[in-house]
Amino acid sequence: MVVQTYKGIFDVILMVQIDTKSINLTAITMLTILTLILLNLSIDGFSQTLQTPDFQSNSNIDKSEIMDNTQAELATKIQLVPHENEYLDDYYQVSDFVFVLSNSSQLCPSGKCKYELEDGIMQAERISGERSLAGRITIDTGDSKNMMELRASWKTVDEFEKNGDNVKDIKGTLDLGTSQFNPENKYQINGTLTKHGEYYLLEVKGIK
């Protein structure tokens, strides 16, 4: 998109030079104009990224709340933006996330693991009120890294408006395992799926 913008600017400048021969824009003038535009684009882009929530500081997931539990539980907060492939209508991809497992989980006994989520995609809502999300998660315990398939599916049980946002109360399941067809870890989840403008925020907690 930026490349096309620059091309359009050059076209305008060339048209001015050809059609209005009285206006003589030197290479230095053109460079100055482009520099100012680039600065403006950078500032706009930066301000847009500031609108993305800081998941570490703003997350309402209290890690201590699940780390002290005896049952293996999880909590996650996932931000989803429209898929970069414009042909995948109503598909969303993960842009940021927080994921926590309790220290009673065999997947993360220390309760201090690091997590990476790759290829996280929320599929289109083919059936009203139903969605699913899938991806590949890496759990880094510090001593080893375990890669697992993650798949969550849920149904909407209630829907309401809050602060101008559409919020759906959801219930479903979240599976973790080396195989998506026979996962070793299955969780019952509940939480919310909130629509903020163009992106979604998925917040759920789960218990085995």
Tokens of 60: 């309402």
pLDDT the model gives residue 153: 97
> How far is residue 112 from each of residues 16, 109, 162, measured CA to CA in Å?
62, 8, 33
pLDDT the model gives residue 62: 53
pLDDT the model gives residue 80: 96
pLDDT the model gives residue 3: 39
pLDDT the model gives residue 181: 83
Tokens of 82: 């429209």
**β-strands 199-207, 114-122: how paired?**
unpaired
pLDDT the model gives residue 64: 55
**β-strands 73-82, 145-162: how paired?**
unpaired
Low-confidence ranges of the chain (pLDDT < 70): 1-72
CB 153 within 8 A of CB 188: no
Q: DSSP label at 128?
A: T
Distance, in Å, from the CA atom of 20 to the CA atom of 13, rounded to the nearest integer, reads: 10
Distance, in Å, from the CA atom of 178 to the CA atom of 133, rounded to the nearest integer, reads: 16
Domain ranges of the chain: 2-49, 55-207
C-alpha R_g of the chain: 23
pTM reported for the whole predicted model: 0.67
- Letter string b/e over residues 29-58, b meaning 16 or more CB atoms within 10 A of that residue's CB: eeeeeeeeeeeeeeeeeeeeeeeeeeeeee
* Cα torsion 119, 115, 137, 150: sign: negative
pLDDT, tens only, 46-82: 222 223 334 443 445 555 554 555 454 889 999 999 9
